[in-house]
Amino acid sequence: MDFNKCTLIKVLSSFVLPLCFTCLIPSAAFSSSLNLEWKAEFGGKKVETGTVTIPAVDGGFLLVGEAESEYLKGNGKKDIYVVKMNATGLETWEKYYGGYGDDIGTFVRATSDGGYIIGGSSRSNWNDNRNMLLVKISAEGKLQWKKEYPAEPNLTSEGLNDDEIIYIREEADGYTILGNKKSTDTIGGDIFLIKVNGQGGVEWRKTIGGREDEKAVSLQDTPDGGYLIVGYGALSSETGYDIYLSKTDSHGKVEWSKSLGGKGWDISTVTAPTSDGGYLIGGQSSSGNDGLFSGYLAKVNSEGNLLWQQVMPAYVCTLIETIVPTDKGIELTGWLESGTGYDFVRILTDETGVISSTDLINNEQWSKPFAVTAVDKGAYIVTGYVVDKPGYRYWLNKQEQAYVAKIKFAK
């Protein structure tokens, strides 16, 4: 994860808690109860990469990524790339969705009608703005409808807008869309929250943020029908980013905003609700461990107040990708940077984030932190791309193919 895409605590509330550094034995003692159950590569006709994979409605999986454009091959333009596979990673069908510019998928969710809705961005327009893009497809991949969402009409910036959808929540009467927006002639960015009907028509939209540079990463329902937005941004005069939390009502009106952060780079990547009404927030932080990036886990209550936090040793975890609360504590997965790439790690903690056990598996194809999706108990899907070694395929296919792997824990 880079800083454009990708938490000492300063909470903008009534109290501050100190950092708690978790002690653990060296990485040489990691256990090895992880199995690479299967892996698959997709594409080969063009340049294909994977962004995210989710469980499909029939027990298989659905991959969303990007590929060289069908319309303008060889010019660097991109289409949304979708692959449906069975439970063991074998391809069932393959589809491309796009126009005459860049169309990129960043999020996908299964829908109650058996199909899927894909969020992303599009530059297939006359003015080269990058607009939010919503694509609805059937279970078989047939395009049902597609909508673009340009910047608000009263946008005063003279630059091009650079917007994308990063999260979609299905509602009884449509979808709530979370996205990020930025203009090419400004430094900061803001957050979009948009409610659309079942055909993608806008019912309301809100812009959230505006103080400095905010970027959303996840959306959670709240018990009162509102939303909790979690992200990160340059929220203070200190160097680096802070974690950003914003609570809205059911129509996107902000009720409160708070932040967690220190002097380093503090970045949220994932959020999960807890049974007591609070939220777990995971990511990475350089506000500790002598400035080295390491995994970060915190819990806040329903009002966004910090209850506890853990910064992990840099040799245990570099970045947290998934959080699954369990009856015994918390199950985390993420990545540990190594000399040759990244190792996949699973970390079990108690209810306050104190580490009880760790597992690690490495693979030479994991050159960067790929996306991770929890698919069932003790199983995860890793999504990214692989690069062919120099040779005929390297030049013919321009290196990249979409990559999916299933990791299962033996214990």
Q: What is the pLDDT of residue 183?
A: 61
**CB proximity list for 395: less than 8 A, separation 6 or greater:** none
Strand partners, 164: 180
pLDDT of residue 61: 98
Domain borders along the chain are 37-208+370-409
For the chain, the residue count is 411
Is the separation of the CB atoms in 229 and 215 below 8 Å? no
pLDDT given for residue 25 in this prediction: 37
Residue 9 phi/psi, 5-degree rounding, is: -120, 130
> How many Å apart are CA 134 and CA 15, to the nearest integer?
41
The Cα 90–Cα 83 span in angstroms is 10
Contacts of 26 (CB under 8 A, 6+ apart): 315
Distance CA 201, CA 154 (A): 19
Distance between CA atoms of 144 and 134, rounded to whole angstroms? 11
Rounded-to-integer distance, Cα 228 and Cα 234, Å: 19
Best CA proximity match to 409, nearest among 345, 349, 352: 345
Sheet holding 371-376, edge to edge: 34-42, 400-409, 379-387, 371-376
User: What's the rounded Cα separation, in Å, for the pair 175 and 177?
Assistant: 6
Q: Residue 50 has which token pair?
A: 């994977």
Nearest-angstrom CA–CA distance, 77 and 100: 8
Q: CA 295 to CA 159: how far, in whole Å?
A: 36
Alpha carbon distance 358, 347 (integer Å): 5
Across 138-212, the runs of DSSP E, i.e. the strands, are 143-149, 164-171, 174-182, 189-196, 202-208
Per-residue pLDDT of the chain (411 residues), as tens digits, is 333 333 222 222 323 333 333 333 344 345 557 889 999 999 877 778 999 999 999 999 999 999 986 555 544 588 999 999 999 999 999 999 987 778 999 999 999 999 999 999 987 665 667 789 999 999 999 999 999 988 665 444 455 567 889 999 999 999 999 999 876 555 567 898 999 999 999 999 998 876 667 889 999 999 999 999 999 987 665 567 899 999 999 999 999 999 997 778 899 999 999 999 999 999 999 987 778 899 999 999 999 999 999 999 999 999 999 999 999 999 999 999 987 889 999 999 999 999 999 999 988 888 889 999 999 888 999 999 988 655 444 555 456 889 999 999 876
Integer CA distances (angstroms), 170 to 174, 175, 185, 226, 267, in order: 6, 5, 33, 14, 26
**Whole-number Å distance between alpha carbons of 334 and 117:** 26
pTM of the model: 0.85
Helices (H) and strands (E) in the chain, counts: 1, 28
Kind and range of the H or E run holding 259 = strand 254-260
Q: Which uninterrupted H or E stretch holds 392?
A: helix 392-396
**pLDDT for the residue numbered 329:** 96
pLDDT in the model for residue 288: 78
> Can you tell me the distance from the alpha carbon of 57 to that of 61, in angstroms, rounded to the nearest whole number?
8
Half-sphere exposure of 411 (CA within 13 A, CB side): 11
Instruction: Classify the phi-psi angles of 45: left when phi > 0, otherwise alpha if psi is within -120 to 50, otherwise beta.
Output: alpha
